[in-house]
Structure 1
Amino acid sequence: MRTETTTKTKDEPEAVLSNGHLGNMSSSRLSSLLASKDRDFLLSPTGSQVKVCDLEGKLVGLLFGANWYAACRRFTGMLIGIYEELRNKVPCFEVVYVSSDENLSAFEAFYAHMPWLAIPFSDVDTKIALNKKFDVEAIPRLVILHPNKDEATVNGGVELLNRYGVLAYPFTNERLEELKKEDKERQENQTLMNLLTNPERDYVLAPPQPDTKQVPVSSLVGKTIGLYFAAQWCLPCQNFTPKLISIYHKIKATVSEAGNGEDFEIVLVSSDRDQACFDSYFSGMPWLALPFGEPEIRELARHFDVQAIPTLVILGPNGKTITRNGRNLINLYQENAYPFTNSKVELLEKQLEEEAKGLPRLVFHEGHHHRLNMASDGNGGGPFICSECDEQGSNWAYQCLECGYEVHHKCVRPIST
């Protein structure tokens, strides 16, 4: 089973949703999915057994995951909060864990943190059947079954909850349409002030220094702003942040020299786990930050559908979103990506295409043992993760036709044969 990657963001959750109201799911349907010929019960967190038929009439989420994959642990932690909030209001919601853990002890260690039911680890046949029925190729995966068997299944529960959290309940088309309408209205009315402030706070934190601690958000209006979603514990963030610091200084120097009134700023939107980690991480940054633990942090992540960190969202001088792919543009074009607009990106793509015309079609790279071929969108290329710098690329790349190895042309270290 492959694991789910998180370098790509999505405009809408990939969920197949249903219309209608909560009805009655037949116990025979649930039994055919969750029971076996030798077992008519599920495990509970207390160690007791819960009859499958007791789930009749409930909205049931099947959580496919494993303790060995960090993304499963992260999503499970979020789902616990949503589950407990829903269970306090809507007792008809239940979750059943379908384990891909490597052994019983791993299952027990992971399940010990879960407040819901589970398929017994020993029932391999049922777990295999569920994975096959719902075409589970990546984890974590959350499949939501509506009580009425005539209603469709929600196959993209992970994406849905990552984006909307508890607001997604009851996971119907009507509810999704309401949320999408709210999103559209929020985007149309988006300004820097309503993104970054609240009634109690109209400022962001300045870089750690003795003379200034707060910067009014109003002073940022009219600038190009990067919202940097990151955290100290995140290894990709640790790798990308030094690069972004370097590019930040170069962009600031460029706009200062231009003297045309433009300016660029970055605001850290932290996912650090405590104040000390936030303070340590922010202390090495030259830009601004939202205070640790602000409620706007979670709302911003949802508003911009941030599925993974680091993510760099670029806002234009009018406060509207230019792109959510600032990290990729920085990796591809460095400081030349500024101001990140479609017209600038199109110009850079044309320049890259012209540059590629002068590159050799075949190379031997010291970091790989096969010959590499120049590839583009038109001849087998496209979005990829560079095997040298581990950052995303697109368009032109050097590609190994034998094993799929791909590398940015700027990361190639040619060797003679």
Structure 2
Amino acid sequence: MRTEMKDGTRVVVSDNGISEELSVSKFSHLLASKDRDFLLSPSGAQVKVCDLEGKVVGLLFGANWYPPCRGFTQMLVGIYEELKRSVPDEFEVVYVSSDEDLDAFSSFYGNMPWLAIPFSDLETKKALTRKYDVEGIPCLIMLQAHDSKEVRDGVELVYRYGVQAFPFSRQRLEQLQKEDSQKRENQTLPNLLANQHRDYVLSHTGFQVPVASLVGKTIGLYFSAEWCVPCAKFTPKLISVYHKIKQELSEKGDEDFEIVLVSSDRDQASFDSYYNTMPWLALPFGDPEIKNLVRHFNVQGIPWLVIIGPDGKTITVHGRSLINLYQENAFPFTNAKVEQLEKQLEEEAKDLPTLVFHEGHRHDLNLVSDGNGGGPFICCVCDEQGSSWAYQCLQCGYEVHPKCVKAVDRDHNNNNVLMDR
């Protein structure tokens, strides 16, 4: 007697050639093979694929060699463990590895509390990758036990909603999106920054500043952390711009701008050390509203600067980019102000040379804009984001803010290149 798979159905063939069809679960069809009906567990035990029946299953495509996979896995572990406590028999994750060898797989999987397809089963892993058109990792596909429609953006759901996204169905996603829309429509500064246990933010003196006293001001919510390398570069620039804006407003007899640090530091000491370098306000370390704010504004990386208007509504989530482009001139960060600054850049660009030799670069740099080959970029001099006008090397993609260009004559530039060698 032998067992075969035909069109998602397990067929048992007896020794005399008579076959009998046996129904198989959706997960057995996906995750088992003709030689294997089990998955690995962290303890090394074999868990039957049929034990997944009735559960929501996340297929995690990842690899040890890719840093974003390690970061996402760490976050997913926390959510997985929380769901295992609250709904122990309703959720499971299965790791589908793209690791380079067994040692890498074992090392990475050793940090995971869920199930895995054996590293040796290359065919099943390839079949799953093809079936779900996995083009990048980490990738998390959410499967419902009784619904043929999978949710493919599990990584975004986990980052944005955490355990609140369970059971990770399309219906739950639509509900969360509707709630987000209602929150944006009803958004006020107090319901962003305060809760029933706390109605204040912190100052450096230890004084508790009432959130109500910030109403009517333009507020920057600065998502940052001491361990973040890009934050270490951007924070001094933001401090300088903050002082200049405050000075200009003070001269006008106006005090309608403030920044509030929303920290993702890992311990109180790191928070204290980092916050002591800043001149503005802060939410308390580890405050529960921090996770809500990260989710509400869909913060995808730090540093991240959200600007809230005097009416409590969001002006922009791209405050960092505006600071990099326009410094203190970006205030108050409104669409009208940005349009004015963009027009000003257009006028200034008319007087810029169309071709320059930049100190230390061996190729010509061409002046480009959004309409003629330019667009969002990272400046190779200051490592900050730019858009609109840039000086671009058409040979190697090198791009520089116009304000960062150090123009030299061709001979001087070539000498610099030779010396750099």
Range class of TM-score, shorter chain: 0.7 to 0.9
Q: Which of 200, 211, 219 is residue 217 of structure 1 equivalent to?
A: 211
Q: Which of 179, 185, 189 is residue 186 of structure 2 equivalent to?
A: 189
Q: Which of 125, 140, 143 is residue 141 of structure 2 equivalent to?
A: 143
Gapped regions of structure 1 (runs ≥ 5): 1-25
Cα distance in 1 between the residues matched to 2:153 and 2:360:
38
Gapped regions of structure 2 (runs ≥ 5): 1-22, 411-421
Cα distance in 1 between the residues matched to 2:346 and 2:201:
40
Superposition deviation, residue 32 in structure 1: 4.7
The residue aligned with 1:171 is 168
Does residue 42 (structure 1) correspond to residue 39 (structure 2)? The answer is yes
The structure number with the bigger radius of gyration is 2
The residue aligned with 2:400 is 407
Percentage identity across paired residues of the two chains: 71
Cα distance in 2 between the residues matched to 1:371 and 1:34:
55
Superposition deviation, residue 351 in structure 1: 0.8
Superposed CA offset, 1:137-177 (max 9, x none): 3222111122236x322111111121111111222332222
The residue aligned with 2:328 is 335
Cα distance in 2 between the residues matched to 1:37 and 1:414:
67
Q: Which of 127, 130, 133 is residue 128 of structure 2 equivalent to?
A: 130
Q: Which amino acid in the other structure matches residue 244 of structure 2? A: K
Cα distance in 1 between the residues matched to 2:132 and 2:393:
34
- Bigger Cα displacement from structure 2, 108-117 vs 54-63: 54-63
CA contact (8 A) 2:26 2:145 kept: no
Q: Aligned with 1:335: secondary structure?
A: helix
The one of the two structures with greater contact order (alpha-carbon pairs below 8 A, sep at least 6) is 1
CA contact (8 A) 2:200 2:210 kept: yes
Superposition deviation, residue 257 in structure 1: 1.3
The residue aligned with 1:287 is 280
CA contact (8 A) 2:246 2:255 kept: no
CA contact (8 A) 1:256 1:263 kept: no
Give 1:187-336 correspondences, 5 Å limit: 187-207=184-204, 209=205, 212-259=206-253, 261-336=254-329
Superposition deviation, residue 324 in structure 1: 0.5
CA contact (8 A) 2:222 2:304 kept: yes
CA contact (8 A) 2:27 2:49 kept: yes
Cα distance in 1 between the residues matched to 2:396 and 2:28:
44
Does residue 162 (structure 1) correspond to residue 156 (structure 2)? The answer is no
Structure with bigger strand share is 2
Aligned length in residues: 387
Cα distance in 1 between the residues matched to 2:202 and 2:42:
43
Cα-Cα RMSD: 2.0
Q: Aligned with 1:201: secondary structure?
A: coil
- Bigger Cα displacement from structure 2, 277-286 vs 32-41: 32-41
Give TM-score, length-normalised by structure 1. Answer: 0.87
Does residue 352 (structure 1) correspond to residue 351 (structure 2)? The answer is no
- Compared CA separation, residues 133 and 400, structure 1 to 2 (3 A): farther
Cα distance in 1 between the residues matched to 2:409 and 2:282:
48
Give 1:371-410 correspondences, 5 Å limit: 371-410=364-403
The residue aligned with 1:118 is 116
The residue aligned with 2:66 is 69
Cα distance in 2 between the residues matched to 1:398 and 1:98:
43
- Bigger Cα displacement from structure 2, 370-379 vs 229-238: 370-379
- Bigger Cα displacement from structure 2, 239-248 vs 197-206: 197-206
